[in-house]
Amino acid sequence: MYADFVVSGIWCIGLATRKYSVQNELGKCGESWGLRQDGALVHNNTVIEKISTEIEEGDVIVSG
């Protein structure tokens, strides 16, 4: 799968299960994982990890 996003301001990108409710922010529940603009990787409303690299427009985020 490939996805291309242009982000600015406050944002969060991530993945979710089919049980995820779109009324929640990604990462706020146990059904989703989100990477926020501040570099925090969040799952179930808990910061799992924080990346040290600042994400800017034009950056490519690769999972793996």
Domain membership flag for residue 2? no
Domain membership flag for residue 3? no
Q: Domain span at residue 45? A: 12-50
Distance CA 6, CA 14 (A): 14
- Spell out the residues 6+ positions from residue 27 whose beta carbon is closer than 8 angstroms to its own: 12, 14, 33, 34, 36, 41, 42, 43, 44, 45
Q: Residue 8's pLDDT is what?
A: 75
Domain membership flag for residue 27? yes
Q: Residue 4's pLDDT is what?
A: 67
Domain membership flag for residue 35? yes
Q: Considering its fold, how many domains does the chain have in total?
A: 1
Q: Residue 1's pLDDT is what?
A: 59
Which amino acid, residue 14? G
Domain membership flag for residue 38? yes
Q: What is the pLDDT of residues 7-54, one digit of tens each?
A: 677 888 899 999 999 888 899 999 999 999 899 999 999 999 998 888
